[in-house]
Amino acid sequence: MSAPASLRRRLWIAGAGALAAGVVVAAFALGAAFERSAERVLERRLDEDLDRLIARVERDPALDRYVLLREPTDERYRAIFSGWYWAARDARGLRQSRSGWDQGVLDRALEAARERRSSLQLDGPRDQPLAVRLQRVRFANGDVLPLAVAGSRAEVLAETRDVRLLAGLAMAAIAACLLLAMAWQVRYGLRPLRRIEVALARLRRGERVRFGELDLPAEVAPLAREVDALLDQHARQVERARGAAQDLAHALKTPLAVLRLDAQRPDAELGQRVLAQVERMQAAVERYLAGPMTVDPRQRCDVRGASLSLIGLMRQLHRERAPEFAVEVPSTIWFGGSREDLEELLGNLLDNACKWARRRVRVRAGIAAGRLQLDVDDDGPGLDEAGIAAAPLRGVRLDERVPGSGLGLSIVRSVAVAYGGRLQLAHSDLGGVSARLDLPGGQGSG
């Protein structure tokens, strides 16, 4: 059998079941407590009657024995089968109350009497349930008299049934009130889930919702925080996907521009240049489709060779501006990563410098504290402090008149961070901007 699908129904079944069990147990417990209390009252009354019966035992001078000289005069022990009986056995034989009508009601009780007072239960005339108190009394001359008194338990049992019935009715009334309270409690307790439902509907409509701000109870708040974390993760994944698409478009932009220029002036080497740019675009596509960047520190790349290759590409791409390039990169310096990543880094910096330079672009590289320091400088108008701080941000374009998407420096920073490096912008001694990359690298044979 499957569990109830409704949370409200689950709470109702669990609460009503526990309440019903509690009501039944409470009713029986109250009845048992009353029965035990009534039994003790009857027992104390029988003890008092037994003490009075023992007090009536006296020494008979004629027999020189202790006997029951004076019988109790209580009317309870005189009415036939009244339910109240006494009995004693002395030197004159068995003595018993008139109410027993000579049927020997307490014969067996007298046989079971001991010197220590005790109790037992037996059935009397007409199947009366009796409670018996008995004791064997020993006197100084050696006489021993067993005595017993009995009282009907019928009244105790009848009153116990009445109490149990009343307790059951009272418990049922209490249960009805508790069920009403439980209905309100379930409704009130599930109210935060209704707020979550409304918030989810707003989220589906495209509104901005933070579940942690819904003032939810402490038991539900962790769930709200997890939902917020899930939404944040989804937003980051969407942003990364959007960024990856923009980065891919930016990576394809330069090769496509070169192909467009080559298509306008075909020559004998056109096929080789087209093939090289197609391979570069294919590598970019494969790289961004592969997802997050993976870094292999065992790879080595010649920094000077990559720089000269990219400068040749920039001369074609920025032929109209015709910047002058200065390369101050020793041939022994290498980059600790793939050539594609170095071309991504240096290519974006060179392209950005060519767009802003008046005449000169300079590339320098060196090793400091076991790290590669790669600088790209231009003699352009430069940036103020606010521009230097904002330029590496994704999509920031400081001058709409200059072609670009505002993604180049952002891509450079992302790739550098993946290698445990960083990008720093500063004022160049050429007058423009100096972009410095701190990357893993070294000096010697690559």
The whole-number pLDDT of residue 391 equals: 67
Whether residue 374 has pLDDT greater than 90: yes
pLDDT at 202 (0 to 100): 78
Closest CA to 322 of 344, 365, 286, 354: 354
- Please, what sign has the CA dihedral across residues 174, 175, 178, 183? negative
Using alpha carbons, select from 437, 377, 395, 432 the residue that is nearest to residue 412: 437
> Is the pLDDT reported for residue 214 higher than 90?
no
Q: N- to C-terminal Cα distance for the chain?
A: 71
Let me know if 364 is exposed, middle or buried by CB neighbors in 10 A (0-12, 13-18, 19+): middle
Q: What pLDDT score was predicted for residue 396?
A: 43
> What's the rounded Cα separation, in Å, for the pair 351 and 335?
20
Residue 402 pLDDT level (bands cut at 50, 70, 90): very low
State both tokens at 71: 């019988």
pLDDT value of position 243: 60
What is d(CA 385, CA 283) in angstroms, rounded to the nearest whole number? Answer: 36
> CB of 439 within 8 A of CB of 418?
no
Tell me the CB-side half-sphere exposure of residue 295, using CA atoms within 13 A: 15
Lowest mean pLDDT among 1-5, 51-55, 431-435: 1-5
In contact, 254 and 313? CB cutoff 8 Å = yes
CA distance 25 to 33: 12
Q: What percent of the chain has pLDDT over 90?
A: 19
User: Going by DSSP bridges, is the β-strand pair 324-328/360-368 parallel, antiparallel, or unpaired?
Assistant: parallel
pLDDT of residue 228: 78
Q: Are strands 57-60 and 324-328 parallel, antiparallel or unpaired?
A: unpaired
Which pLDDT score is estimated for 134?
Answer: 92
* Angle, CA 279 vertex, CA 275 and CA 285 arms, to 5°: 145
290 pLDDT tier (thresholds 50, 70, 90): very low
Mean pLDDT lowest among 17-31, 45-59, 238-252, 391-405: 391-405
Q: Long-range contact list for 293-300, CB < 8 A, 24+ apart?
A: 293/341, 293/414, 293/415, 293/418, 295/337, 295/418, 295/419, 295/420, 296/337, 296/338, 297/336, 297/337, 297/440, 299/336, 299/337, 299/338, 300/334, 300/335, 300/336, 300/446
Q: What is the pLDDT of residue 253?
A: 62
- Over residues 120-164, the pLDDT tens digits come to 988 888 888 999 999 999 988 888 999 999 998 888 888 888 888
- For residue 13 the two structure tokens come to 């079944």
- ∠280-285-286 over CA atoms, to 5°? 100
Which residues are within 8 A (CB) of 361 and not within 5 positions of it... i.e. 6 or more apart?
A: 314, 323, 324, 325, 326, 350, 353, 354, 376, 377, 378, 379
Q: What is the largest CA-CA distance in the chain?
A: 161
Instruction: Say if residue 97 is exposed, middle or buried (CB neighbours under 10 Å; 0-12, 13-18, 19+).
Output: buried
For residue 36 the two structure tokens come to 């035990």
> Which strands, in side-by-side order, build the sheet including 118-123?
93-96, 85-90, 144-152, 129-138, 118-123
**For residue 298, pLDDT beyond 70:** no
Nearest to 77 by CA among 108, 52, 60: 52
Highest mean pLDDT among 184-188, 203-207, 264-268, 379-383: 379-383
Average pLDDT over residues 161-185: 84
- Confidence band of 276 (pLDDT split at 50, 70, 90): low
Give 233's contacts (C-beta < 8 A, 6+ positions apart): none
pLDDT of 435: 92
pTM of the predicted model as reported, rounded to 2 decimal places: 0.41
